[in-house]
Structure 1
């Protein structure tokens, strides 16, 4: 319940506005034109919608009553909201190969998104075959993390196969937040590769054309954006250059909503230089990040670094110049200490200086700490500020405490500040219990705004119970208070509310239903004796089909008394997004309406986005919006923007470690030379219909080209025997040619000739049978051996045309047998079937009688 007073002798036409620490807060009822009778007070129930993206914790919300004719603020009223933690994590596959070749190296990139309203630690796991890998990844609120999983396919595989990878992500210790995706890849699907002999630097040149009806008749305008990013030379050199040139300056024109920008950054292992428009900063308490135009320098000496910067803030009017110098020692990625000095020159030429010492440490896997203390002088008086943060994380318990303090006149980023954020979480799967306590009195020197938020306190307890694998139930209760930080506060209230929610997540489909109910006590109206009731129900859902289509929608129904009225209001919206292919994408969103509280900004009723990649170097994007104009309730405008981006791939240097090979299998009378698998240096290609193939990115030096004989047709063979050794030259493409012809065949038989004396007196026949003999066929580079069959036959299949020597080994010949033709020399032609006869003489045994004994 809010009371609006008119102390004047005339009635006033006013509008009620809402302000909060973060965007998205709405009034449920339109109070853009409210009449206050002369000399009277009126009370209204004000319904307030808490945005889905609001950070968990205590939030101060201010209602302003503004006279419409003059814009004068007549009165304000403050409220305190305690937003409970919401745990949601999402996972998208940014890129993944669908086909891999033997010997290939690739990767799968996952995008993990924290859709919770607080910072979380996610548990990410991958199952590849029988191997499982798990990693804990912290992600900030509204933040994301790119996880790249490298894939290496073996060079030798027995057959074509399909491989599977299962990826799972959840918030560590929070049941009901589980998301998963399944990927499959076909192996052995190979093709030719393009080889680029140069290391290249990519420059994106974008032209922007736009139209708007915000001012009545259509207005057309344009802008350019040129940016580049890449390595100077080989990536191993770690010499990177980034730059951006954007203009002309639109000075915040709503047609584009961006200004000019000129920036360049060079980084190497030793040196980092930033020049132009950049977010310069030294530490959280002095200057954490302020947009300015200047120069920055950082020198890395192994674990020790020194740096500094000079900048002119672009959007903060009270500072003319900033100077900074600092040193840092980092003994590993999780432990570092930093010290520095920073000076500011204001618009009155007053110079203030500060010193800062900070440390960030992770001494144990379960313990993280950060600390900073800063001293500065204001008006010859020493002022101080410090910040301490400690977080503990284990399987069952998680806790965090973050405290910031700054003296009243501390000249840094904070002043007159005391702020504490803390929480404690217990995980007793499937039950999770969380408690939090926050208090804040903060004054920050933000760009374009000197912020003095209200004095707030908040405490709450929430439970989450997971059941039936896909479902979770949320229960919570909280208290919060907010008071304007001034001798005569404009608001001072305390708020109590509870929440009941149900979540269902089925991987590709999710549904969330939650309701809120609460009471508010305003100490400035009636010393807090009156309580205001409210109730809200929200339903949201999403569905995704593989990685090509996603849809989401929400419906909000608000009833009861929320501070101004008892009206019932419903809002709904839907969004669609799809990727037709790697080159084309489409998205569409629709909202039924917006509450009047959003009148200070453009409100998107209908939006459309189309993106197309013409080729690797040219992309087109089109966006259009049908909006409610800011500062209006009913005026609608149409905006459209067309962007064309051309990518220049400027050659920087030749590649020194790889080369390429172009090959051809010459058809010498075979049915086909297509589909033959060839490999070189771990790379694989398949020949086209003309026998052509190309292999790029081959390590320099001697390499062995392997031609898979099983890929040929029946009775087909290369004219030259392998292995084929080639010399790969840096940044060069060499040629290789191999003729393919029909194979030849040698067929032979053993012919035994009987001794003519076998039937004469004094001789007897040999009765032992001829056993299987070893027969060898050899050329200059190849040798094959076979055993004759029981009938005395033998064959050599798929022999290369040319000169072959056939040799029969006498080992195994029984006594009485003698080879008459033990060796042959044969010149084979393609498709020739040469028949030979190996003659074996069978000698009769002579019988001799002994005359004397």
Structure 2
């Protein structure tokens, strides 16, 4: 504070200051600063001068007035001013953390000794805006059963200083209530979210939900939450490897040709592997009868089978057979293909096909060979023979193709072909390039077919090229050019697209998150290729496209303005300024329901019609009506005439109802314009029932089941307890039951989550519980929950000894048939064992841990602990009695010198000598116990290794060192405890560990 005042003084004296205030004839007040800008929770210092303008001393007092809620930190004192004296004062005030944004005034008032207001002035303080929204999870369901509704409650707080409307955005859940929350400064509200789960789940799933608080598209705070969904339906694992087959039956109806027609169709298909190793793949389709006249979907009859393994590919039947893009691209018909693949990348094969929908070709035969180094590097050679109907001369085509990747982000594809028909020969070429380097992306393709080339394309040139550069993280610029194919020899079931060419220059600008702007100049030409031309026009226009997502609403706007030349009109009137406006609006109500609306308005001078204006509008809706029912609707009033080369839905309605995971019913209705049609739409209705079938090929495993029930001692079932076995987890139901199905045979550990138990409750069996699963059998468990018992106590001195013992670190053991607990006393000699199962227990005091010079009367206690019992045990400890034992000694007297005295010789009785070997009795340090055997080089031993390994009670125990005395063993244990926590001394007798007290 003093430092700040000093800085202000230096500033005033060296630079001067602006004078603000109000003067009287005697006293004036001058603020150094006016109109300060601060933030909430800040401390602001406001310096000012009080000046005595008279030649007499004046008794004064100061009163500072601050806005409500503001606190003055410094204590200001002003009792008098000497003649012509000026006094420097600083007002320090703290702005409240929740102070609303706005302008405030702080005033200073000077009073004389009679409490008359001599002078007063004020300074303005602007509190700026702070945006701070905090979102916290209050409560939620972590474990729920399938079919239940997940619920969670959040607290949202406005810690800023202005009123805000916060949008609550969620992922994988829905807000239960209003998604827009209005909060005043300091205000908080509860937000509830829900998520419905399917009761069809057959395995435990871990799902994440996310809730975000957003202001103007920016995430202010977010909370992630994890939940586990446990199945309520048991799932019996399929023990067989199966081949997947789909079967369906369809009903088709139409008002085609102004008459009602209907038909039915059956389809059976399969696509999958025939073995578990995925070496043999089979695909087939059987569909009939032929109903292509009733459905624009192309539901003609079709029959084929295809087999593939590592070295062979074989196909027979009606299928689209592929050649090369230049020679024949693909041809639908009845045929056969066989391909043989060698392990070195070489392959060869042939294709024979009788086209179905292109009547001018009688048959085609091709042989080919390929070398493939990997997916992106290969070379292919094709030879094709075509027999045209009514023509004796055969057509021959030869093609050489290659694909390679010269650089990591560059791929190239090339093809060159030469065709012969009689004495006429011509060439065709194709090239594709995709590359990325530095800030540039390049892509392009070029197709050329000579005038007399007899392949899929004749007298055709097609190209497309795109170049773009990311000149800024938010800005992408580039150009795109394209010219369409011509003279494609397509199946008559389809139609050649219009001729078109275009050139486009564009700039893409990523304005903000989920906000994009594209501006481009476009030059394009489109020409009808039907016999009676409907359009041929060229357009030059400036276009802009803007798209943005705001909360659940997203939209895009497109506008174009330019000039169109209609070549089907006279030169006098074929040019016109044209414009086009289109929009696409989408709203996501929640995770189940969404709606989209779109429309276009234009006056493009494109078609030979009386009115050049075109209005197109439509609506699309998708909804999850019920758990098993989905619905969608699509409506559109019209289509552009130059879209004739594809089918156009003016209306589409669809209902999809799932009976089970493997069966569903789909009902569709279409109002459709066929290809080549520009009016006279037709209505189609279809109903299809599908069923998935798995044909068992081989039994793959043997399994068993485990079921059980968890209840308290009064038979009250425990619901919502998480039980785990192997890698599966489930939760108990209303009756406390649980079930695991399809468990492989073996011995496994079952564990129970005790978080839902009362603090003093525990299962009546040791956990984890070891159980054996037998194939084709079910193990049934009844697990009771009981009150645990606790043993605690302390060591008590029977009488006050000459010195007090150190009662800490006395080693104690509590042992039952199944469990053993070892603890040590604290410094006061107190001990407390964890909660244990009721029943018979043995309490033991390790003699070697009793302080030297002291002993206990009893080292082993047998006791029976009852449910809920709190058993206190007082252990008497006392100083050892010092016993003196006199032993018989042999005394020998003999004459010695003139003294006439006999010298005294003492010899102890000979002690018995043990006949046992020294190695039979020793001490060692136990460092670990494991359910599985460890490798001698295991990192657990940290380079120490081990001397002894013992398998006791299905556990492997490991010991380090052999010591002849307990003190040596304890000294070694203290060193080993740094690496092996909990290591303790064990006494060995005849190479078997025994209790130290029994040594």
TM class, shorter-chain normalised?
0.5 to 0.7
Residues 310-346 of structure 1: CA distance to partner in whole angstroms, max 9, x if unpaired? Answer: 2221111111222222222222222222222222222
The 5-angstrom pairing of residues 268-417 of structure 1 reads: 268-302=309-343, 303-348=345-390, 350-394=393-437, 396-417=439-460
The alpha-carbon distance between structure 1 residues 616 and 720, as it changes in their structure 2 partners (threshold 3 A), is same
1:775 to 2:817 alignment: no
Q: What's the counterpart of residue 558 of structure 1?
A: 602
1:648 to 2:693 alignment: yes
Cα offset, 1:689, TM superposition: 4.0
In structure 2, C-alpha distance between the alignment counterparts of 1:633 and 1:457, rounded to whole Å: 22
In structure 1, C-alpha distance between the alignment counterparts of 2:570 and 2:830, rounded to whole Å: 116
Provide the TM-score with structure 2 as the length reference: 0.59
Cα offset, 1:214, TM superposition: 4.3
1:249 to 2:290 alignment: yes
In structure 2, C-alpha distance between the alignment counterparts of 1:776 and 1:346, rounded to whole Å: 97
Q: What secondary structure does 1:444 align onto?
A: coil
Q: What's the counterpart of residue 271 of structure 2?
A: 229
Cα offset, 1:709, TM superposition: 4.4
1:419 to 2:462 alignment: yes
The alpha-carbon distance between structure 1 residues 832 and 824, as it changes in their structure 2 partners (threshold 3 A), is same
Contact kept in structure 1, 2:496 and 2:645, CA below 8 Å: no
Unaligned stretches of 5+ in structure 1? 1-97, 102-126, 128-156, 167-181, 756-763, 848-853
Contact kept in structure 2, 1:806 and 1:823, CA below 8 Å: yes
- Worse-superposed segment, 717-726 or 329-338: 717-726
Q: What's the counterpart of residue 822 of structure 1?
A: 859
Q: What's the counterpart of residue 503 of structure 2?
A: 459
Q: What secondary structure does 2:305 align onto?
A: strand
The alpha-carbon distance between structure 1 residues 829 and 654, as it changes in their structure 2 partners (threshold 3 A), is farther
Contact kept in structure 1, 2:535 and 2:606, CA below 8 Å: no
1:613 to 2:613 alignment: no
In structure 1, C-alpha distance between the alignment counterparts of 2:678 and 2:388, rounded to whole Å: 41
In structure 2, C-alpha distance between the alignment counterparts of 1:327 and 1:593, rounded to whole Å: 49
**Aligned with residue 676 of structure 1, among 701, 717, 721:** 721
Q: What's the counterpart of residue 198 of structure 2?
A: none
State which structure, 1 or 2, has the greater radius of gyration over its C-alpha atoms.
2
The alpha-carbon distance between structure 1 residues 299 and 722, as it changes in their structure 2 partners (threshold 3 A), is farther
Contact kept in structure 1, 2:394 and 2:422, CA below 8 Å: no
The 5-angstrom pairing of residues 341-740 of structure 1 reads: 341-348=383-390, 350-394=393-437, 396-429=439-472, 430-439=474-483, 442-448=486-492, 458-480=502-524, 495-506=539-550, 508-521=552-565, 531-559=575-603, 561-562=605-606, 564-565=609-610, 568-580=613-625, 583-592=628-637, 604-625=649-670, 639-656=684-701, 659=703, 661-665=705-709, 667=711, 669=713, 671-695=716-740, 703-710=748-755, 712-725=757-770, 735=779, 737=781, 739-740=783-784
Higher relative contact order (CA 8 A, sep 6+): 1
In structure 1, C-alpha distance between the alignment counterparts of 2:497 and 2:297, rounded to whole Å: 30
Residues 247-301 of structure 1: CA distance to partner in whole angstroms, max 9, x if unpaired? Answer: 1112422487521111222233333322222110121111222111222223333
Residues 780-832 of structure 1: CA distance to partner in whole angstroms, max 9, x if unpaired? Answer: 44211244568766444432344421102345645664311210233556556
In structure 2, C-alpha distance between the alignment counterparts of 1:251 and 1:161, rounded to whole Å: 45
In structure 2, C-alpha distance between the alignment counterparts of 1:508 and 1:845, rounded to whole Å: 90
- Worse-superposed segment, 392-401 or 703-712: 703-712
Q: What's the counterpart of residue 226 of structure 2?
A: 186
Contact kept in structure 2, 1:681 and 1:699, CA below 8 Å: no
Cα offset, 1:380, TM superposition: 3.7
The alpha-carbon distance between structure 1 residues 481 and 723, as it changes in their structure 2 partners (threshold 3 A), is closer
In structure 1, C-alpha distance between the alignment counterparts of 2:852 and 2:600, rounded to whole Å: 104
Cα offset, 1:833, TM superposition: 5.8
Residues 660-719 of structure 1: CA distance to partner in whole angstroms, max 9, x if unpaired? Answer: 542324647265444333333433222334454344576776654444444544444444
Q: What secondary structure does 2:835 align onto?
A: strand
Contact kept in structure 1, 2:292 and 2:300, CA below 8 Å: yes
In structure 2, C-alpha distance between the alignment counterparts of 1:523 and 1:209, rounded to whole Å: 46
Contact kept in structure 2, 1:717 and 1:742, CA below 8 Å: yes
Contact kept in structure 2, 1:754 and 1:843, CA below 8 Å: no
Residues 370-422 of structure 1: CA distance to partner in whole angstroms, max 9, x if unpaired? Answer: 00112232104443222122222235222233222223232221222233322
Q: What secondary structure does 2:453 align onto?
A: coil
- Worse-superposed segment, 684-693 or 826-835: 826-835
Greater share of residues in strand:
1
Contact kept in structure 2, 1:445 and 1:451, CA below 8 Å: no
Cα offset, 1:533, TM superposition: 3.4
The alpha-carbon distance between structure 1 residues 287 and 668, as it changes in their structure 2 partners (threshold 3 A), is same
In structure 2, C-alpha distance between the alignment counterparts of 1:435 and 1:617, rounded to whole Å: 48
The alpha-carbon distance between structure 1 residues 595 and 485, as it changes in their structure 2 partners (threshold 3 A), is closer
Q: What secondary structure does 2:504 align onto?
A: strand
The alpha-carbon distance between structure 1 residues 204 and 309, as it changes in their structure 2 partners (threshold 3 A), is same
The alpha-carbon distance between structure 1 residues 199 and 696, as it changes in their structure 2 partners (threshold 3 A), is farther
In structure 1, C-alpha distance between the alignment counterparts of 2:640 and 2:855, rounded to whole Å: 110
The 5-angstrom pairing of residues 99-110 of structure 1 reads: none
The alpha-carbon distance between structure 1 residues 561 and 456, as it changes in their structure 2 partners (threshold 3 A), is closer
Q: What secondary structure does 1:361 align onto?
A: strand
Q: How many residues align?
A: 669
Contact kept in structure 1, 2:281 and 2:308, CA below 8 Å: yes
Q: What's the counterpart of residue 16 of structure 1?
A: none
The 5-angstrom pairing of residues 152-167 of structure 1 reads: 162=208
Contact kept in structure 2, 1:765 and 1:844, CA below 8 Å: no
The alpha-carbon distance between structure 1 residues 495 and 588, as it changes in their structure 2 partners (threshold 3 A), is closer
Unaligned stretches of 5+ in structure 2? 1-140, 145-170, 172-204, 213-221, 885-999
The alpha-carbon distance between structure 1 residues 792 and 312, as it changes in their structure 2 partners (threshold 3 A), is same
In structure 1, C-alpha distance between the alignment counterparts of 2:444 and 2:518, rounded to whole Å: 24
Contact kept in structure 2, 1:750 and 1:840, CA below 8 Å: no
Residues 41-89 of structure 1: CA distance to partner in whole angstroms, max 9, x if unpaired? Answer: xxxxxxxxxxxxxxxxxxxxxxxxxxxxxxxxxxxxxxxxxxxxxxxxx
In structure 1, C-alpha distance between the alignment counterparts of 2:605 and 2:529, rounded to whole Å: 28
Residues 439-496 of structure 1: CA distance to partner in whole angstroms, max 9, x if unpaired? Answer: 567322111189888876543323333434444443333334578999x999987543
In structure 1, C-alpha distance between the alignment counterparts of 2:679 and 2:450, rounded to whole Å: 47
Contact kept in structure 2, 1:591 and 1:606, CA below 8 Å: yes
Cα offset, 1:598, TM superposition: 8.1
Cα offset, 1:612, TM superposition: 1.3
Cα offset, 1:546, TM superposition: 4.7
The alpha-carbon distance between structure 1 residues 310 and 732, as it changes in their structure 2 partners (threshold 3 A), is farther
Q: What's the counterpart of residue 843 of structure 2?
A: 806
In structure 2, C-alpha distance between the alignment counterparts of 1:306 and 1:510, rounded to whole Å: 52
Q: What's the counterpart of residue 60 of structure 1?
A: none
Residues 79-130 of structure 1: CA distance to partner in whole angstroms, max 9, x if unpaired? Answer: xxxxxxxxxxxxxxxxxxx9999xxxxxxxxxxxxxxxxxxxxxxxxx9xxx
In structure 2, C-alpha distance between the alignment counterparts of 1:283 and 1:678, rounded to whole Å: 59
- Worse-superposed segment, 596-605 or 833-842: 596-605
In structure 1, C-alpha distance between the alignment counterparts of 2:346 and 2:624, rounded to whole Å: 46
Contact kept in structure 2, 1:718 and 1:738, CA below 8 Å: no
Residues 120-158 of structure 1: CA distance to partner in whole angstroms, max 9, x if unpaired? Answer: xxxxxxx9xxxxxxxxxxxxxxxxxxxxxxxxxxxxx9x
Residues 721-773 of structure 1: CA distance to partner in whole angstroms, max 9, x if unpaired? Answer: 355455667x8565363633425525354585857xxxxxxxx9656367344
